[in-house]
A and B are shown apart, each in its own frame.
Chain A
Amino acid sequence: MIEFIDVSKQFNRKGVTTDALKNVSLKVEPGEIFGIVGFSGAGKSTLIRMVNRLESPTTGDVKIAGQSLEKSNTKEIRTIKRDIGMIFQHFNLLDSKTVYKNVAMPLILQGVDKGEIDRRVTELLDFVGLGDKSKSYPDELSGGQKQRVGIARALATNPKILLCDEATSALDPETTTQILELLKEINQTYGITILLITHEMSVVREICDRVAIMEKGRVIEEGTVFDIFSNPKTDTGKSFVNTVMHNEVPEFVLKLLHESPEERHIYRLNFVDDSAGEPVLSQVSKKFDVETSVLFGNITQLQDIPFGNLIVEFIGQGREVASVLSYLDSRNIIYSEVTRDAR
């Protein structure tokens, strides 16, 4: 649906050139919710703006439903934009217009007739739960309500793609949850492809199917939300995942490792899906001559799949521990040794 092909972007301000994006290639499939996370300045904002041509790449191309933006002229791009709705962190509503007029605006621009506008705006305001606010002005609404107006406006032209630019970053946690639920509903009801950027990993966990992590203008990691959350590969990826998963090795475990004179066998075990419910640890104790001691653990759900994270110490001979590990391998349990410099 959206395809970034080797996109690079340089900004030139006062003779100083900065690379905002470096050779980014990504593909967003139709109907999915794709999240891009990164710290501020990572380039995610520039990237999302390439989809509706608020920014243009220095090199590379962006394709929307197979259509190249680089090869399209201004008029064609305007037509493509009708298929792309966008919501913003600061809502970007017209303060001088009523809620009704704000939502109607994209239709007015296209010269849709009044009756049709009326039908569509009423339907949309009902959908976002603001049916009674059509005559209000944006400054009479709460942040969550403003974003609902933004969403209704973005959907006015029946777009195939919805871009969300930090859409919940200015909202409180409860409102954020409500808006995310609304976005999920939009995705499921209308099959709209959603591309969102955020610095909040909880947003990604809540609604995304796939996620890309950006750093310094590059995509450094990409995969399903489950893969990234259960097994982040880069340091930035890990630190993002840790913000919501609390996967970091607790301080006391590291202290244990540091202060203990002899070698200790401490492992992180990740249980996925069915294996999360299985009594693997008790099996290990029965089968092998080791004692297991759970130092830390939690079980969460990722995309409706149970995901367990345990930090376990195996107390026993090195050889026994080695056979425990091969047993874990045979059970498809992801594990990694916790070392002194672990994070």
Chain B
Amino acid sequence: MLVSTDRIISSVIETLQMVSISFIFSIVIGLPLGILLYVTRRGQILDQPIIFNVLNIIINIFRSVPFIIILVAIIPFTRFVVGTSIGTEAAIVPMVVYAAPYIARLVESSLLEVDDGVLEAANAMGATPLQTIVRFVLPEALSSLVINFTIAIIGLVGASAMAGAVGGGGVGDLAITYGYQRFDGVTMLVTVVILIVMVQGLQSFGNVLSKTIRRK
């Protein structure tokens, strides 16, 4: 193996940083967008088909571009935001651009699962639209949201590995520069195992968390 254990550990940390920071930003942007999609849908709480359609199309556009294209296509924007297009910080920008619309969609689908009867009860109690979302819809959807966020964060782990291709750092970077370009099979194997462990861990954590919420 051409790389030291320290190097592996530091790239694991880089990956975790990229994934967690981009995940947080994606939620901050994606959650409100998802809620907006949900409430503006025809027949829903706010019923604003025009806003819904515009948002719907924009999100679809972002969602149809493959991550590897986003990565290079938005380099000028990345440079504008973080000042550079190489390194861990630079990878976070395209990761958020990739994941936020994805999360918006996942949030929308989670919220749509909430039973219409609950909305009817909220309406009968005279809840305001904000109260309906905060007190009724979000708590009822929480368990499903956690499952969907798990899917999103695993998507980000995959994206972070790809970001390695353009010098984003992290485990993916290691796999490409050593495993692929220098034919170091052991490093390749180690990085793949690390990624498997990460994905398995996140999925199990998400499942347990979702289950706990459902029961509580």
Contacts and interface: CB of A to CB of B under 8 A. Distances in A.
B211 to A, nearest CB: 13
Nearest to A150: B121
B126 interface: yes
Contact of A96 (B120, B124, B131, B213): B213
A94 B117 contact: no
Nearest to B119: A92
Contacts of B118: 92, 94
Contacts of A96: 139-140, 142-143, 213-214, 216
Contact of A109 (B115, B126, B139): B126
Interface in A284-301: none
B39 to A, nearest CB: 16
Nearest to A51: B124
A86 B124 contact: yes
Interface residues of B, number: 22
Contacts of B126: 77-79, 81-82, 106, 109
Contacts of A91: 117
B120 A54 contact: yes
B131 A109 contact: yes
Most buried by B among A92, A96, A97: A96
B128 interface: yes
Contacts of B143: 96
B136 interface: yes
Interface residues of A, number: 25
Contacts of A137: 215-216
A81 B135 CA distance: 18
B123 A54 contact: yes
Contacts of B136: 94
Nearest to A102: B121
A96 B212 CA distance: 11
A78 B128 contact: yes
A126 interface: no
B158 to A, nearest CB: 31
B128 A108 contact: no
A84 interface: yes
A105 B120 contact: no
Interface in A85-117: 85-86, 88, 90-97, 105-106, 108-109
A82 B117 CA distance: 18
14 contacts: A52-B123, A77-B126, A81-B124, A81-B125, A88-B117, A91-B117, A92-B117, A94-B140, A96-B140, A97-B139, A105-B135, A137-B215, A137-B216, A163-B124
